[in-house]
Amino acid sequence: MRATTPVPLLDLSAQYAPLRAQILATIERVCDSQRFIMGPEVTSLESELATRIGVKHAVAVSSGTDALLLALMALDIGPGDEVVTTTYSFFATAGAISRVGATPVLVDIDPVTYNIDPEAMAAAITPRTKAVLPVHLYGLCADMDAIVAIANRAGVPIIEDAAQAIGSTYKGSPAGGMGAFGCFSFFPSKNLGAFGDAGLVTTNDAALANKAQLLRMHGMEPKYIHHLIGGNFRCDALQAAILRVKAPHLAAWTEARRLNARRYATLFRDAGLLERVVLPVEPQGSYHIYNQYVVRVPRRDELKAFLDARGIGNEIYYPVPFHLQPCFASLGYARGAFPHAERAATQTIALPIYAELSFDQQRTVVGAIAEFLAADGQASPAGAGR
């Protein structure tokens, strides 16, 4: 086996090092204040992120999953209701729908963008549909012109799962600003990550913002008077304070990720691999933030093992679509129901894309893939059968 310098999938230490002193001072400030739940750090974060994202209202919460739950609860979605969403995403997308007692109605994806197929979404709407929930997967906005038109015809709201898409735009409109609600995650590996769990709900509707704020704290206003049955979705002040330090750097980090995506395109082209490796796309009018850099390759699982053996970071998002998950067996979907999602689940792999990734590290990644494919010259081209 040829020796290869390891390349991590994500190097959070490289991001942390230049901000260390400022972050530690911020943590000390919060500790000295002894205000750990909500408070001025949270309200300041909300105001700053609303401006940065380009929405009127932002409600900081305890996680991206809780952001989805809160949005569904604020729209009074519950038992007997249906929500149309993709079968190909992180589990929380469909899990949150089930947790409020509603039924996730799953549909297939566009095989090029991996986002929800609007035509399939339209076909899945019934009189019981109470919302549609597109995901802006991997940092690329879904086809929102089509989705907004479908939702308007059906008379249902849109909840955007923008957990992976902070800073992404679609024809000038921000992710999280095109539906009734946008839902963001600040899980540490996200483009803007906390030092634990945190999330955000966005909206341009003042009444919905007020309702989300109320539900976030057990429906309570004032203290001990509960108007609604909400939950404990409050944001920690420590997480808010850390995010306030990191958020001003988000645009630069995003541009570095975009530069790395362009470098990958050049490296794969120069290596003669574009017929074997299908790269991410950025449709006209979209601004991709590359929360993940996902490629489609032949013999994906063998390639993963090859990269693992050389210490080259990689990840598979997502190997089992929702309709094949054991907990959703009662929904009645069979294998083969959503072929594009099923093929993506077996053919795609994520490569390192973080902002601090060097060109030399990218050359190592592409060189290893070229080595694997050279030894696998008889394999079918990536994307065959799409």
| Percentage of the chain modeled with pLDDT above 90 | 96
Q: What domains are defined for the chain?
A: 13-248 (3.40.640.10), 249-374 (3.90.1150.10)
Q: How far apart are CA 229 and CA 225, in angstroms?
A: 11
Mean of per-residue pLDDT scores for the chain: 95
- Which pLDDT tens digit goes with each residue over 108-165? 999 999 999 999 999 999 999 999 999 999 999 999 999 999 999 999 999 999 999 9
Q: Is the pLDDT of residue 380 over 90?
A: no
Residue 234 DSSP class: P
Instruction: Tabulate helix, strand, coil % of the chain (nearest 5).
Output: 45, 15, 40
Q: How far apart are CA 116 and CA 128, in angstroms?
A: 20
- Reported pTM: 0.94
**Amino acid present at 319:** P
pLDDT of residue 379: 46
pLDDT of residue 386: 35
The Cβ-side half-sphere exposure at 325, using a 13 Å CA radius, reads 19
- Which pLDDT tens digit goes with each residue over 239-289? 999 999 999 999 999 999 999 999 999 999 999 999 999 999 999 999 999
Number of Cβ within 10 Å of residue 192's Cβ equals 23
Q: How far apart are CA 47 and CA 57, in angstroms?
A: 8
Q: How far apart are CA 300 and CA 271, in angstroms?
A: 19
Which residue in 95, 82, 90, 140 sits closest to 113, CA to CA?
140
Token digits of residue 338: 């959503």
Q: Is the pLDDT of residue 385 over 50?
A: no
Q: Is the pLDDT of residue 384 over 90?
A: no
Q: Is the pLDDT of residue 376 over 80?
A: no
Which residue in 260, 289, 276, 219 sits closest to 355, CA to CA?
260
Residue 280 near residue 294, CB atoms below 8 Å: yes
Q: Is the pLDDT of residue 232 over 80?
A: yes
Of the given ranges (218-227, 311-320, 343-352), which has the lowest mean pLDDT? 218-227
Q: Angle 206-216/64-74 helices, nearest 10 degrees?
A: 120
Residue 141 near residue 168, CB atoms below 8 Å: yes
Q: Is the pLDDT of residue 1 over 80?
A: no
Q: How far apart are CA 269 and CA 275, in angstroms?
A: 9
Phi-psi map region of 65: left, alpha, beta (phi>0 left; psi -120 to 50 alpha): alpha
Q: How far apart are CA 289 and CA 168, in angstroms?
A: 6
Biggest alpha carbon–alpha carbon distance for the chain = 69
Q: How far apart are CA 332 and CA 310, in angstroms?
A: 41
Q: How far apart are CA 133 and CA 87, in angstroms?
A: 11
236 versus 386: the higher-pLDDT residue is: 236
pLDDT of residue 93: 98
Q: Strand runs (DSSP E) across the chain, as ranges?
A: 57-61, 82-86, 103-107, 129-133, 159-161, 169-170, 173-174, 181-185, 199-203, 286-287, 293-296, 348-351
Residues 289-309 have a mean pLDDT of: 97
Tell me the pLDDT band of 383, cut-offs 50, 70 and 90.
low
pLDDT of residue 326: 97
pLDDT of residue 130: 98
| Percentage of the chain modeled with pLDDT above 70 | 96
254 versus 380: the higher-pLDDT residue is: 254
Q: How far apart are CA 12 and CA 5, in angstroms?
A: 18
Q: How far apart are CA 137 and CA 134, in angstroms?
A: 9
Tell me the pLDDT band of 3, cut-offs 50, 70 and 90.
low
pLDDT of residue 345: 98
**Amino acid present at 55:** V
Residue 38 near residue 61, CB atoms below 8 Å: no
Tell me the pLDDT band of 377, cut-offs 50, 70 and 90.
low
**Amino acid present at 78:** G
Residue 85 near residue 93, CB atoms below 8 Å: yes
Strand order from edge to edge, sheet including 82-86:
103-107, 82-86, 129-133
pLDDT of residue 5: 87
| R_g of the chain computed on alpha carbons | 21
